[in-house]
């Protein structure tokens, strides 16, 4: 193993191990990648390897075009999706993909997750976007690469900033999250699952539950974000 990549592989391994610990994956249904912008590569979980058998040395190194750089195992089947996001969104340092239950259930409905409460507003000021199901020609093409463009196109269509909205549902598929660090990307994945669960319970109890007041959205978001944030130490 190239010693230049040792720390990156360790970060990636540790982030991937968090997914089952947080209840975000079943079997091998998920992956985390972590980028090193200076080296021009990212580390990602190898395809189909059970989490309990995973080792740091198993992490696979890939460049931002999705080409193998180092690794004895095949990288995740979602590698090209991660590569597209890294190449086009230069301020992200990690990407997480899971099939966590509640977030995936919302993705399967093809619906955004509505902003109903302050837990949601603590993290973003808009509904969690759900990209529409992929077009047939995209599915028939380079599917995983096209998934990356499906995400990019939905952010462009909605005028969203990936630095502020760090999560998306891919219609009929599952969630993706990202962040500047591996820790933040995994945190966002866990937060998305909890927001999805709360929203499901809310609309089950009251199908026509109203959207959160804009004043509360702004209050809760700005407590944690921006120059005047005062949450935490």
- Report the catalytic residues: 122, 231
Beta-strand pair 130-131/167-170: parallel
- Strands of the chain (E only): list them: 30-36, 41-44, 60-63, 68-70, 94-98, 130-131, 167-170, 175-179
C-alpha to C-alpha distance for 82 and 43, rounded to whole angstroms: 10
Beta-strand pair 175-179/167-170: antiparallel
C-alpha to C-alpha distance for 205 and 111, rounded to whole angstroms: 18
C-alpha to C-alpha distance for 106 and 128, rounded to whole angstroms: 10
Residue 171 has, within 13 A of its CA and on its CB side, a CA count of 14
DSSP letter for 38, please. T
> Alpha-carbon Rg of the chain, whole angstroms?
18
Beta-strand pair 41-44/130-131: unpaired
């Amino acid at each position: 193993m190239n010693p230049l990549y040792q720390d990156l592989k360790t970060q990636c391994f540790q982030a991937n191990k968090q997914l089952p610990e947080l209840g975000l994956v079943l079997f091998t249904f998920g992956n985390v990648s972590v980028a090193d912008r200076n080296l021009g590569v990212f580390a990602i979980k190898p395809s189909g390897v059970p989490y309990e058998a995973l080792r740091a040395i198993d992490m696979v190194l890939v460049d931002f075009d999705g080409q193998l750089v180092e690794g004895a195992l095949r990288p995740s089947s979602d590698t090209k999706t991660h590569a597209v996001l890294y190449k086009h969104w230069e301020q992200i340092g990690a990407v997480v993909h899971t099939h966590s239950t509640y977030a995936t259930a919302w993705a399967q409905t093809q619906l955004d997750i509505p902003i109903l409460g302050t837990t949601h507003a603590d993290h973003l000021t808009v509904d969690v976007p759900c990209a529409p199901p992929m077009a047939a020609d995209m599915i028939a093409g380079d599917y995983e690469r096209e998934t990356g463009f499906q995400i990019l196109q939905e952010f462009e269509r909605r005028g969203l900033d990936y630095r502020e909205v760090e999560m998306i549902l891919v219609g009929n598929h599952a969630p993706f999250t990202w962040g500047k660090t591996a820790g933040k990307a995994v945190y966002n994945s866990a937060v998305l699952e909890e927001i999805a669960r709360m929203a499901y319970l809310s609309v089950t109890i009251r199908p026509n539950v109203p959207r959160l007041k804009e004043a509360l959205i702004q209050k809760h978001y700005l407590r944690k974000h921006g120059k005047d944030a005062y949450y935490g130490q």
